[in-house]
Structure 1
Amino acid sequence: MSNSRTTAKAGAAGGPRPAETTLLSGQAVPAHFGDPHAEAGAARVDATMFDRSDRALLRVEGADRQAWLHNLLTNDIKRLTPGQGCYAFACDVRGRVQFDLNVLCDSDALVLDSAADRRELLHKWLDRYLLSERATIATEDSLGRIGLSGPRAVEIVRAIAGEAAAALAEFGHCELSGASAGERLVRHDFAGSVGFELLVRDIGAWWERLAREHGVRPAGLIALDALRIEAGIPWYGREIDERTVAPESGQIGRAIVYDKGCYLGQEIVERMRSFGNPARRLARMRVQGDADCDIPAPLTLNGTECGRLTSLSALGDGATRAGLGFVRFAIAPGALLVLGESGREVQLL
């Protein structure tokens, strides 16, 4: 999340007006709508909607699309059938994560969902490996996106899209009934709680409908960041980057399937599993004090550096804040670390 915020002139086209905007993945999104603590609280016990303009799509078509991407990504792309999806990494030959993305399977295409500021890079990276395969890659810019998250999200989706939509597994997706061609609903627990994303053309109409008919309040990036940190969800550019070896990410089983066969970087990823645990792991943390700090920040144990804090929630309880970062694999939950030179105590969860 950018630290540069400006007073908003408008929200998502036709949507509610945020109190402040900020940048995420190169896109202007609401920072908050007046009370980020209340926005996060609503997401925990009710339902909130988020501007998800920070995401962007690529569409891969052609007879070889599934087999080709299966050989490039860490998840099992061949097993996907229309209406299913998954989370995956694209790695280099050293097993280091170059991109993270959601893959949605349609009957005639695979739709790749990535951070907006990474889409062009992902497109170019994929092009490098497109040789004789019958596959084409194109950008998809006709749809906007609203995220819906919270315990009441299932009830709301049931009302607007039916029982089958409400029962979707994560990354499952379906067309929105009565919507124009290509508009869809995706199950995506992007904030930790049960969540959905609406990929639609008229964002303003959907903001208004969700608020008017279902009493959903808008929430901004400050609340979203706090929620995903509490849930232990890593973001590319914060926790994950080109130096992260895939198994360190904490996404084994979610993004990495070990028995799928060969893919780019698979030898290193498999070697880490066969010969022991990775050197470090992603960990949720509770940081003492209710103040900001420069991120990333080193973590020490008994005076020796043992990890780093990569994300710190802006929403504390007055005494502590949620954090996310990496520590040496052998350090167990409950351990007490020290944050940088501040002396603030950090407890691993």
Structure 2
Amino acid sequence: MPDQSCQLLWTASPWATWIEISGPSHLRFVQGLCSNDVAALEAGHGCEAFIPTLQGKILAHGYLWKSTDRIEFAGLGNQTPGLLPHLQKYAMIEDVEVADRSTSGEAILVWGEEVAAVLSAILGTEVPLGDLEQSEVIWEGNSLRLFRPTAMNTAAMEIRGEQATAVASLLSEKGAKEVGMNAFQQSRIAQRFPWHGVDITPEHLAQEANRDDQAISFKKGCYLGQETVARIDALGHVNKKLVAVRLLGTCEDLPQAIVVEGKEIGQVTSLAEVDGQNIGLAMIRRSHNAAGTKIECELGTIEVLK
């Protein structure tokens, strides 16, 4: 009989981009191409980061997971066509190997406050408890990789490996509910975590994503695009940024322009119903993106949350 106390949700993993960088120079290589300080991480941990272009724009965004012999990039959606050639180009002059793991193996995402306790009981071992931790466990004779992303407004676990769907079946038996991608979207929008290609694109500067504290180290050494990132930091602001909003009107198609007095001042890029309210992400110009601002526009009233 299902365990009705299990309040977990799970879905196929949305981390569709998964690229592995290995080889003797892999740490130096990644450190020189990303916005966060991977070198400072202990093995078994990760960080959120941008992979900027030379101009400081967002070629890719996601997590960098550090192991003793490799670093893995995990990103929402299909970022591979832009990121993989970029990494391969610079790998030609380094002693590294870049491998696309995006379509290899099974992967699920599980979330809910009891995720660690339930998975520990199923797997018969402790699982990562802290944000941005990872580990490898052997279960039923097969390796499973476990990752703790921070993209959601609750505790979550990414499970990758040949037995991932078998774990999902056991979760369902315990009362966990399989849901579609909309449930994940609700949670990541509530957390203001952007989807590359939707909320942010290679046309946006890194600081426009509004993830400085989470994804940018201003103390690490030089990296590709760092000059632009540092110059914007010295300036103190960007002309637009991604913010969470509450929409009191309707918005059927996305992206949707935010027009005030005939002038476009931003776009709503993502939208989901969260606790009975229309909560979304919007890229809005500096004149209107301060928290608490209420924008009266063709879509109705838009309130900037953070």
Match of 2:111 among 136, 146, 149: 149
Match of 2:282 among 322, 325, 348: 325
* Equivalence for 1:335: 293
Q: CA deviation at 1:297?
A: 1.7
Aligned partners of 1:157 and 1:165 also within 8 Å: yes
Aligned partners of 1:73 and 1:264 also within 8 Å: yes
Structure 2 CA distance for aligned equivalents of residues 85 and 159 of structure 1: 24
Match of 1:306 among 265, 279, 290: 265
Match of 2:255 among 289, 292, 296: 296
Root mean square deviation, CA, Å: 2.4
* Equivalence for 2:58: 97
After alignment, is 225-234 or 116-125 more displaced?
A: 116-125
Structure 1 CA distance for aligned equivalents of residues 73 and 125 of structure 2: 26
* Equivalence for 1:260: 220
* Equivalence for 1:223: 183
Distance 1:327 1:143, change over 3 A: same
Q: CA deviation at 1:71?
A: 0.5
Consecutive unaligned residues in structure 2, runs of 5 or more: none
Structure 1 CA distance for aligned equivalents of residues 263 and 124 of structure 2: 55
Structure 2 CA distance for aligned equivalents of residues 262 and 238 of structure 1: 29
Q: How many residue pairs get matched? A: 299
* Equivalence for 1:11: none
Distance 1:180 1:57, change over 3 A: farther
Per-residue CA shift, 1:283-316, capped at 9, x if unaligned? Answer: 1111113x44222222245664322211121567
Identical amino acids, percent of aligned pairs: 24
Match of 1:192 among 144, 153, 162: 153
- SS across alignment from 2:116: helix
Structure 2 CA distance for aligned equivalents of residues 275 and 180 of structure 1: 55
Structure 2 CA distance for aligned equivalents of residues 191 and 179 of structure 1: 29
Per-residue CA shift, 1:117-168, capped at 9, x if unaligned? Answer: 3224322111111233111112334421110112222322332457752423
Distance 1:243 1:120, change over 3 A: closer
Consecutive unaligned residues in structure 1, runs of 5 or more: 1-41
Distance 1:232 1:62, change over 3 A: same
User: Following superposition of structure 1 onto structure 2, how do residues 1-349 of structure 1 map, counting pairs within 5 Å?
Assistant: 46-52=7-13, 55-115=16-76, 117-140=78-101, 141-161=103-123, 164-170=126-132, 172-178=133-139, 180=141, 182-212=143-173, 214-289=174-249, 291-301=250-260, 304-313=263-272, 317=276, 320-331=277-288, 332-339=290-297, 341-342=298-299, 344-349=300-305
| 2:193 partner letter | I
Aligned partners of 1:57 and 1:112 also within 8 Å: yes
Structure 2 CA distance for aligned equivalents of residues 276 and 162 of structure 1: 50
Per-residue CA shift, 1:239-285, capped at 9, x if unaligned? Answer: 11011100111111211111111111101110111122111122111
Structure 2 CA distance for aligned equivalents of residues 188 and 180 of structure 1: 25
Aligned partners of 1:149 and 1:189 also within 8 Å: no
Aligned partners of 1:301 and 1:336 also within 8 Å: no
- SS across alignment from 1:126: helix
Structure 1 CA distance for aligned equivalents of residues 166 and 127 of structure 2: 20
Q: Under a length normalisation based on structure 2, what TM-score does the superposition of the two structures give?
A: 0.89
Per-residue CA shift, 1:225-244, capped at 9, x if unaligned? Answer: 12222221111011110111
Aligned partners of 2:18 and 2:100 also within 8 Å: yes
Aligned partners of 1:92 and 1:98 also within 8 Å: yes
Q: CA deviation at 1:202?
A: 2.8
* Equivalence for 1:14: none
